[in-house]
Amino acid sequence: MFEGFTAEMVDAGPLRLFVRHGGSGPVILLLHGHPRTSSTWHLVAPRLVELGFTVVCADLPGYGRSGKPTPTTDHVPHSKRAGARLLLRAMHELGHDRFAVAGHDRGSYYALRMALDHPDRVTRVALLDCLPISEHLDRTDARFATAWWHWFFFAQPEVPERVITADPAAWYHGDPDSMGVENYEEWQAAIRDPDVVRGMLEDYRAGLTVDADHERDDRAAGRRIRQPLLVLWSLRDDLEDLYGDPLAIWADWADHVTGHGIDSTHHMAEQAPEILARALGHFCTVSGDDPS
């Protein structure tokens, strides 16, 4: 995987983050979702390099080979605000102070927080299979709670750790044929590490508490995404079934939003890499930083 890329641990202040980076040209940071690592981008990142981009793929704080924040009862060290600061520090260490960011699933919440909190650093943002956490919670009904029950299970103290670490392969589903052998092996190593499992669960615990509070504070203060926003979602997942057109919801959060569905299951970077790379490449080259 990632031929021609450099893989290294980068100083992010209190933690070190594992990153892969390569290419030349405009910079795009790719952030994976749960329960993946940065290797989920192994088919997308090289395509973006071919399109003329510098690409950075980072393991999220708490995930994969990245450093693990120390959990606290208020979950603040695992908040997306704290994680965004770590990622920005790592990007600075790599020499990138302005860049586009694309996040999938849980990674999209770090990308959202970076765009809202640090608009001087983020030129464009792409959010994949994502609605704001607070929008999910404010719309919670029996259908959502049944389909996304894991959000509420992961929020429970201690029990999810015991359940998942007892048999990670039975809990998380994946196969080398659909994921790619090396991506699958890296993912297997991650989910079998109890510290990674704890970090992933703390991500969700922060989501239902401090992260949702931060989003509601944003709305109350009138903060919006001022950068161009691209929203993509998997047509063979349930986001559209639950909420209708995601763009209609994001219009309340962003000034310049475009997007569309992709014919894929949830892990679109693995299932539809060519379509995804083309969409990201086009989005990041249209009109530079100018949303018009």
Catalytic residues: 105, 266
Q: Are strands 225-234 and 254-262 parallel, antiparallel or unpaired?
A: parallel
Strand partners, 73: none
Q: Phi/psi of residue 73, each to 5°?
A: -65, -25
Q: Phi/psi of residue 106, each to 5°?
A: -65, -35
Rounded CA-CA distance 254/256 in Å is: 6
DSSP structure string for 124-184: EEEEES---HHHHHHT--HHHHHHTHHHHHHTSSSHHHHHHHH-HHHHS---HHHH-HHHH
Rounded CA-CA distance 110/78 in Å is: 11
Rounded CA-CA distance 128/107 in Å is: 9
Rounded CA-CA distance 77/62 in Å is: 10
Residue 234: CB atoms within 10 A of its CB come to 22
Rounded CA-CA distance 201/196 in Å is: 9
Give yes or no for a contact between 109 and 80, defined as CB atoms under 8 angstroms apart. yes
Give yes or no for a contact between 125 and 256, defined as CB atoms under 8 angstroms apart. no
Quote the tokens at residue 251. Answer: 């219009």
Angle at 15 between CA 12 and CA 18, to 5 degrees: 75
